[in-house]
Amino acid sequence: MQKSVVVIGGGIVGLSCAYYLQKAGHQVTLIDKGQFNEGTSHINAGYLTPSHIIPLAAPGMVQKGLRWMTRPDSPFYIQPRFDLNLFRWGWKFMWACSHKHVDKSLEVIRDINLLSKDLYIEMKYSKDIDFQLESKGLLMAYQSSKIEKEEAKVAQKARALGLEVRQLDRTQLQQYQPEVQMHAAGAFYYTCDAHTTPGLFMQQLLAFVKQAGVDCRAQTTVTGFIYQNQTIKGVQTTQGTFTADEYVMAAGVWSEDVLRPLGIRIALQAGKGYAISTTQPTGISLPAILLEPKIAVTPMQGFTRFAGTMELSGINHQIHPHRVAAIARGVADFYPQLNLPQADIAKAKCGLRPLSPDGLPYIGKHPNCDNLTLATGHAMMGWSLGPATGKLVAELISGQKTSLALDPFSPLRKTG
């Protein structure tokens, strides 16, 4: 049965929901407070990551976070401040950082990542949109034996889950990427991964859904809801009231604030990440994560992107130069012959990732509202999981059996 659906949020998750909902025959309105051309969905590393089986909430992260709080240029930084929401989130995060949680999440994260990668490939070959999709894998490059041993444990878990990963020594690493010198002792090579150019993909997907009949409304900020008997009757915005049969919340880090008038509370924090992009030739042909400084490196269509840091400092887009400089230093340490132009460093951008305490997204219905579906909280996997989330949301609203069980992503699950 055809339904009218309002999707709130025009990032990769919201756009993917609109794409699959219209494919399922629904009448879709997509609203975004911006212009559909900014935010984390446009400046991320572009990875499709079956390899990322370990959630952000993992053993040791609390200790690292406390240690790194004294270093504003560290890979993971929590800005000290009095914020009750941060305290609540931090408490849940602390309790989620357990071996039990990691073990329970491994197959869940693998399965939704593999589903999403398949959907990206399906999009590519459907000819709906034409975008860069390269299945070159991902290098997890290390310099120290300590980090090598830590990543070896992850690789062992990945192999046990059926993912292909092999270890390369320094010589093999150079042979795989002969056009750039890499100062690394070796790398674990996850051949299961792929990458894209996010900004171009977003442009093309937006153009497709518009052509397919999705009503896309830019500069439309949600101000409230018409809500009766556990049902949304309309969403109030700066551009008027929109009514529909169903509503999808895909507003990223803003989701919790938008949901508050409905009496719905979900634990979310904004995790700021930074990205430096350069059009100068780098010789880099394989995506890599530089493990010591936690920097993602991606050869994209026409440029190379270097992205990193996880900064919890609230919802803001303030660029901290010392954090950008830390990315540039990490890049120079691993690629000694590569000098990033100061002009590119000065043009660094940031984006806000919506972090749930346990590192898993919120996908599913909430009992407070019969016609609302949540699709947010994807942390660092938002780009990778966009299509899978869109597909699951469309199946749920269409009354179909979902491609994956949604219990692990329930908005009501215990996150700490």
pLDDT digits (tens, 9 = 90+) for 150-206: 999 999 999 999 999 999 999 999 999 999 999 999 999 999 999 999 999 999 999
pTM: predicted TM-score of the whole model, two decimal places: 0.96
Phi-psi region of 262 (alpha: psi -120 to 50; beta: other; left: phi over 0): alpha
Asked, for residue 108, whether it belongs to a domain, the answer is no
Who wins on pLDDT, 331 or 58? Answer: 331
Pairwise CA distance, residues 210 & 204, whole Å: 10
Q: Which residue, 332, 355, 378, sits at the end of a domain?
A: 355
pLDDT of residue 217: 98
**Which CATH number fits the domain that encloses residue 205?**
3.50.50.60
75: confidence class by pLDDT, cuts 50, 70, 90: confident
Residues 289 and 161 in one domain: yes
Residue 126 lies in a domain: no
Encode pLDDT of 297-327 as tens digits. 999 999 999 999 999 999 999 999 999 999 9
Name the band, by pLDDT with cuts 50, 70 and 90, for residue 416.
low
Distance between CA 247 and CA 294 in Å, rounded? 37
Q: Are 258 and 282 contained in the same domain?
A: no
Total number of domains constituting the chain: 2
Residues 224 and 148 in one domain: no
User: How far apart are the C-alpha atoms of 406 and 362, rounded to whole Å?
Assistant: 9
In CATH, what number is assigned to the domain containing residue 89? 3.30.9.10
pLDDT confidence of residue 410:
96
Shared domain for 212 and 326, answered yes or no, is: no
* Cα→Cα distances 364→270, 303, 351, 374, Å: 21, 37, 25, 5
Domain that holds residue 378: 4-41+201-266+359-409
Shared domain for 78 and 179, answered yes or no, is yes
145, 88: one domain? yes
User: 404 and 383, same structural domain?
Assistant: yes
Q: Provide the mean pLDDT of the chain.
A: 94
Of 312, 330, 355, the residue at which a domain comes to its end is 355
With respect to residue 416, please indicate whether it lies within any of the assigned structural domains.
no
128 is a domain residue: no
Query: Is residue 415 a part of any domain in this protein?
Result: no
pLDDT greater than 90 at residue 30: yes
Kindly state whether residues 94 and 150 are assigned to the same domain.
Answer: yes
According to the model, what pLDDT value does residue 403 have?
98
Q: What is the chain's Cα-based Rg?
A: 21
Q: Per the domain annotation, does 325 fall within a domain?
A: yes
pLDDT the model gives residue 69? 66
Does the residue 115 lie in any domain? no
